[in-house]
Amino acid sequence: MNWKNLFRTKDIDVLTREAELSANSPSQLRKALGVWDLTALGVAAVLGAGVFSTIGNAAADGGPAVVFLFIFTAIACAFSAFCYAEFASAIPVSGSAYSYAYASFGEIIAWIIGWDLLMEYAIGNIACAISWSEYFTGLLAGYGIHIPDFLTMDFLSASRGFKQVAQLLQEGQTLQTLALGGKTAAFVHGYQAWMDAPRFLGIPVICNLPALLITLVITWIVYVGIEESKRTSNLLVLLKICVVLMVILVGATYVQPTHWVPFAPNGVRGVLKGVSAVFFAYIGFDAISTTAEECKNPQRDLPRGMIYSLIICTTLYSLTALVLTGMVSYERLGVGDPLAFVFGPQVANIRWLAAIIDISAVVALATVILVFQVGQPRIFMSMSRDGLLPPIFASIHPKYKTPWFSTIVTGIVVAVPSLFMNLTEVTDLTSIGTLFAFVLVCGGVLKLGNHRDTSRAKFRTPYINSKWIFPLLLVGLVGLLAYYQPEKINHFFSWSDSTQPHLSTWEVFSEKIPFGAFSIGMIALAYACFRNNLSLIPVLGLSTCSYLMTELGIVNWIRFGVWLITGFFVYFMYGMKRSRLNKTHPIHSNSALLQATSR
């Protein structure tokens, strides 16, 4: 066991040579993707659960001002997208941030980010499957087909719904009244599921069957080939964009400007409360980079596909948020299907459009699942090539030219938990994992600095010297905060929370730990910028994504930490002993791909 290998990096030339050897291998992946295919994959992943589901809860918390959160998140993603694009251009191999971290930070950090990405893709897909189930059951209900509630939701949501409704019923309200509300309508479904579910040993049997079925169908499509996945994605993305444009144009005629007042009813804190839901919508462009070995011209097309998809989706998200909050009071948008809700009988009552939205949401969310199901197996494959996972994960199907075993494992990992997990819980955990990946990719560009191979990279992040800009920007932001919202600074140094007096001193303090660590990190980063003339764009990407991580709360940090600790255990028990960088163990078979050396 050679501990020095933990931080040994793989040279960019080595990674590129692996891609070339892979292209000439009999078991190569099929090269089928062009720039518009990649853009469509990005739009398929980004424009999905966010616009059809989570945008509602984000707007309910932040009001119309949630549009600024979409823009801010998009800017943070854009900084990261430049860094992703540079790496994708210089290292056109599958593996996404995992491969990039291997080139910049070394094996142990690559393993951490690979393990993190496995969680990100799996849990993100679980969330999409759950959201798809909500729209699918709503669509069937519109045609008089009702699936029992206990077969369409998770146990935790049903339990919470039962407790909430039971309490409200004791206060004198009726089920009919509660069913007309926003969040209370969801509670009523949980209550009904709990009451109607069959019992096993006295415990209600509650699961999300449609979420399981859609995952299995999409897994089969991904299993049989990238060509089939591409055609399916391109067709469904076109339909999705047309429907969203229709929603914006028709909805604009129902906008009442009075609904935009107050614009930020819950202040900055209310807007930022939707960070996990909004950022969850943007993680899709990361998945594009996992298809590098299936691109016709990855060095040219991958950067374009990432940036094009980000621009398209940000524009559509911002316009949709303004229309939704203009059509109805933000307080009523806390539902699982906000688009169908505002065009349904309770608001605009445009039944034909509500029906189209239901159908398109079912189709659109399926494309998100498809893209993530394409991405995760290729990360498994890259980690297996490096010896960090068993060799079978890198096996390519002789007929379909896909990583068949990894695809099957991915399907199981997503399908089974989707039966039981809760949407809110999984989006929060996915967001913190994705932000962590973005931070490392931006940090990787900074670490490589002037040592990057400019001859191979056809896209370079524009260099702007941050020596004075970032430190002054940081000081300026702190000054503005102190002038306009001094109470926030006072709140940070306070041992109590006036808005939540029931919290203990430790609970108040623990929630401030992420922001405290962020503040120290920003001071260190500002010093590094001044001393080392770092590139501004990756610095801004690292800082904005780090800040968004602080908004996700200590509970999500703890869950994320537990996942990473589990990953360390797997690495030291298996991956470290079998790594290609560990010269005391033979390289696993599959040959030519694994003969490159490391520096």
CATH classification of the domain holding 308 = 1.20.1740.10
The answer as to whether 597 is a domain residue is no
pLDDT at 524 over 50: yes
Helix axis angle, 183-196 to 155-170, nearest 10°: 110
80-106 pLDDT, tens digit each: 888 888 887 777 777 778 888 888 888
547 vs 545: CA distance, rounded Å: 5
Longest dimension (CA), the chain: 73
> What letter would DSSP give residue 554?
H
Q: What was the pLDDT predicted at 28?
A: 62
The alpha-helical segments, DSSP class H, found in 386-493 are 404-418, 423-448, 469-484, 486-492
pTM: 0.77
Residue-level pLDDT at 437: 84
**What does the mean pLDDT of the chain come to?**
78
Q: What is the pLDDT of residues 439-458, one digit of tens each?
A: 888 888 888 774 444 445 56
Mean pLDDT of 14-41: 68
593 falls in which pLDDT band (50, 70, 90)?
very low
pLDDT tens track for 270-314: 787 777 667 766 766 777 777 777 788 877 888 888 888 888 888
pLDDT category of residue 470 using cuts at 50, 70 and 90: very high
Residue 267 amino acid letter:
G
Determine how β-strand 199-200 pairs with β-strand 203-204: antiparallel
Mean pLDDT computed over 520-535: 92
Boundary residue ending a domain (451, 485, 510): 451
Residues 530 and 487 in one domain: yes
Is 193 part of any domain? yes
Q: What is the pLDDT of residue 456?
A: 55
Q: What tens digit of pLDDT does each residue of 326-369 get?
A: 988 888 887 767 887 888 777 777 878 877 887 877 887 888 88
Identify the residue with better confidence: 240 or 226: 240
> Taking CA 85 as the corner, what is the angle to CA 84 and CA 87, rounded to the nearest 5 degrees?
65
Residue at 23 is within a domain: no
Bigger pLDDT: 467 vs 233: 467
Q: What confidence tier does 504 reach under pLDDT thresholds 50, 70, 90?
A: low
Per the CB < 8 A criterion, the answer to whether 131 and 180 are in contact is no
pLDDT value of position 526: 93
391 and 490 assigned to the same domain = no
Q: How many CA atoms lie within 13 A of 298 on its CB side?
A: 27
Proportion of the chain above pLDDT 70, given as a percent: 81
Q: Is the pLDDT of residue 17 over 70?
A: no
As for how many domains the chain has, the answer is 3
Distance CA 46, CA 81 (A): 13
> Rounded CA gap, 125 and 275, in Å?
18
CB atoms within 10 A of CB 515: 14
Asked if 104 and 77 sit in the same domain, the reply is: yes
What's the pLDDT score for residue 2? 55
- Give the span between the Cα atoms of 287 and 97, in whole angstroms: 10
To which residue do tokens 């998100």 refer?
A: 368
- Stretch 388-400: mean pLDDT: 85
Question: Quick one: tokens of 435?
Answer: 């932000």
Identify whether the C-beta of residue 549 lies closer than 8 Å to the C-beta of residue 77: no
Q: Is the pLDDT of residue 194 over 80?
A: yes
What is the structure's pLDDT at 382?
Answer: 83
Phi, psi of 120 (to 5 degrees): -55, -50
Q: Which two tokens stand for residue 126?
A: 């679980």
Distance CA 271, CA 485 (A): 15
Q: Which of 132-146, 277-291, 308-322 has the lowest mean pLDDT?
A: 277-291
Q: What is the mean pLDDT of residues 397-407?
A: 85
* Contact present, 309 and 396 (Cβ < 8 Å): no
pLDDT band per the 50, 70, 90 thresholds, residue 522: very high
In this predicted structure, the answer to whether residue 484 has a pLDDT above a threshold of 80 is no
Q: Which of 221, 212, 215 is nearest to 369 (CA)?
A: 215
The answer to whether position 593 is within a domain reads no
Q: Which domain holds residue 287?
A: 3-18+31-143+211-451
Residues 218 and 89 in one domain: yes
Residues whose CB falls within 8 Å of the CB of residue 66, separated by 6 or more in sequence, listed in order: 55, 58, 59, 271, 274, 278, 321, 325, 330
Rounded to 5°, angle at Cα 517 from 513 and 520: 140
Same domain, 302 and 350: yes
Instruction: Measure the CA–CA gap between 303 and 89, rounded to whole angstroms.
Output: 7
Q: Would you place residue 508 in the very low, low, confident or very high pLDDT band (cuts 50, 70, 90)?
A: low
216 and 182 in a common domain: no
Distance CA 249, CA 242 (A): 11
Coil, helix or strand for 206?
coil
Helices first, then strands: H and E counts in the chain: 26, 2
* pLDDT score, position 588: 36
Q: What's residue 497's pLDDT? A: 59
Residues 223 and 351 in one domain: yes
d(CA 209, CA 132): 11
* Same domain, residue pair 246 and 379: yes
Q: Which pLDDT score, from 0 to 100, does residue 368 have? A: 80
Last-in-domain residue among 420, 451, 482: 451
Give the mean pLDDT of 214-227: 85
Structure tokens at 445: 């560009």
Answer whether residue 525 shows pLDDT above 90: yes
Q: Give the C-alpha separation, 237 to 220, whole Å.
A: 19
First to last CA, the chain: 18
- What is the per-residue pLDDT across 161-190, written as a single tens digit (0 to 9) for each? 888 888 888 877 777 777 766 566 767 878
Where residue 495 falls among pLDDT bands split at 50, 70, 90? low
592 domain residue, yes or no: no
Residues 6+ apart with CB under 8 A from 589: 391
Report pLDDT digits (tens) over 42-67: 888 787 767 776 787 788 888 888 88
Tokens of 199: 């019992």
- Same domain, yes or no, for 423 and 554? no
> Which of 140-144, 441-445, 506-510 is predicted least confidently?
506-510
Q: Which amino acid is at 215?
A: T
Residues 180, 271 within the same domain: no
User: Which pLDDT does position 539 carry in this prediction?
Assistant: 93
